[in-house]
Structure 1
């Protein structure tokens, strides 16, 4: 078993969400503390990734003090120092088959369909680890020969509890790197694309709802 890094919070994304919502710390400070990339912290703040993640108080978790947060809020160049945990270091179980609760097993085909459709960069081996499935099942869903093909509803495996958001992000990053692509650059490009699409959508909505008063005045026989 490998030891967990006790210099970082146990739940980095949940901690990041809480710090974004409850402090005036910079994204750089939060990224440094959690071990996440600053682009990912900003995406969490904008709810572009990790939707549904509930923030967890770093103070209640015993990882930070209010005084430490206040110190860093006053100095944007300061780095948060996590409270040293007492007792033996926590162990991470060695790699092995993922156990999926019975209630979640029927969700697997939907999760596989989501990954095959939206993240072709994730290898079948990685999908097997994330979802707890087999390569023949993945191929059957890809070829639409799976018994549930007609009723598949692609759903994010992290959102339905089959894996964590962190595990999913790592698999996506690993797949992109294997293809010679930069995960951070890809995330930033996707963010910029979404912002451009949202801006265009907002502009179109404004155009549709705008009212031409000149035509209204003409129709009522009034003029200025």
Structure 2
């Protein structure tokens, strides 16, 4: 199967030299639509020189012209006979020397925000080994105190589409019931952005969901009963003792 050479540089060239939309460029280069938008905004691929796919015999100019007229058209890579029977890449991803120091930060980000990912998936995404992943999970890495979690897509260690595919694959293996926050971690970026926010109680009244006013209602009932008592005579109102009993006690003392 034919593969595109220098996809990021090709995406830069298409953004600068064509009127294609982000979706068309993302479909052709294999990047996520948000990454292409980041290239157009200057947040991604800073300093990367554009790679002309037409001049390098990877794309026909007719494909670009047709795609510019039809926003829904997907461009096709030019047929390359030398790419027939090309073996699929196996083993961990190769990471350039300039980015290898960023791998612990990417691993920590994946472990923190996507704990459902298996070590084999993380190893394939960022090109690392399972002992390194295990040491970061258990916080026994020699430099764990200085490692800050950073998105591997932002570091250029993997593509957003690859991360979304790994997360979706891990989601299928989990049968447990999940809340909205956990479900957003297991879906793609486009799906999570389209989800409605889960209604929540303000933090000031959390824990009072089962609070009832049964105790206060009992106090009110007792007050009402006390108010209904008959205080028509002075003795019942002041709760005075009987005079006969007091007189009897005084007579007994005198004897």
Q: Shorter chain as normaliser: what TM range?
A: 0.5 to 0.7
Q: How far apart, in 2, do the equivalents of 1:97 and 1:12 lie?
A: 20
Report deviation, 1:177: 3.5
Q: Which residue of 2 aligns with 1:58?
A: 53
> Match of 1:57, SS?
coil
Find the partner of 2:105 among 97, 101, 110: 110
Structure 1 length-normalised TM? 0.59
Report deviation, 1:101: 5.8
* Residues 41 and 21 of structure 1: CA distance in aligned 2, closer, same or farther (over 3 Å): farther
Q: Which has the larger radius of gyration?
A: 2
Q: Where does 1:77-88 land on structure 2 (aligned, <5 Å)?
A: 78-88=73-83
> Match of 2:4, SS?
coil
Q: How far apart, in 1, do the equivalents of 2:69 and 2:194 lie?
A: 32
Residue 178 in 1 paired to residue 173 in 2? no
Give a deviation string over 1:65-101, Cα, whole Å, max 9, x none. 3344234323445553432224352623552355556
Paired residues of 2:103 and 2:128 also in contact (CA < 8 A): yes
Q: How far apart, in 1, do the equivalents of 2:28 and 2:97 lie?
A: 36
Give a deviation string over 1:123-161, Cα, whole Å, max 9, x none. 211112233433343232123222211121334445556
Q: How far apart, in 1, do the equivalents of 2:13 and 2:193 lie?
A: 22
**Which protein, 1 or 2, shows the higher relative CO under an 8 Å CA cutoff with sep ≥ 6?**
1
Q: Which residue of 1 aligns with 2:114?
A: 119
* Residues 76 and 136 of structure 1: CA distance in aligned 2, closer, same or farther (over 3 Å): closer
Q: Where does 1:1-224 land on structure 2 (aligned, <5 Å)?
A: 4=1, 6=2, 9-34=4-29, 40-47=32-39, 51-52=44-45, 54=48, 55-76=50-71, 78-89=73-84, 91-92=86-87, 94-98=89-93, 105-157=100-152, 160=155, 163=157, 165-166=158-159, 169-180=161-172, 181-183=186-188, 185-186=190-191, 188-189=193-194
Q: How far apart, in 2, do the equivalents of 1:80 and 1:105 lie?
A: 34
CA RMSD of aligned residues (A): 3.9
Structure 2 length-normalised TM? 0.53
> Match of 2:82, SS?
coil
* Residues 138 and 45 of structure 1: CA distance in aligned 2, closer, same or farther (over 3 Å): same
Q: Gaps (5+ residues) in structure 2? A: 173-185, 198-255
The count of aligned residue pairs is: 181
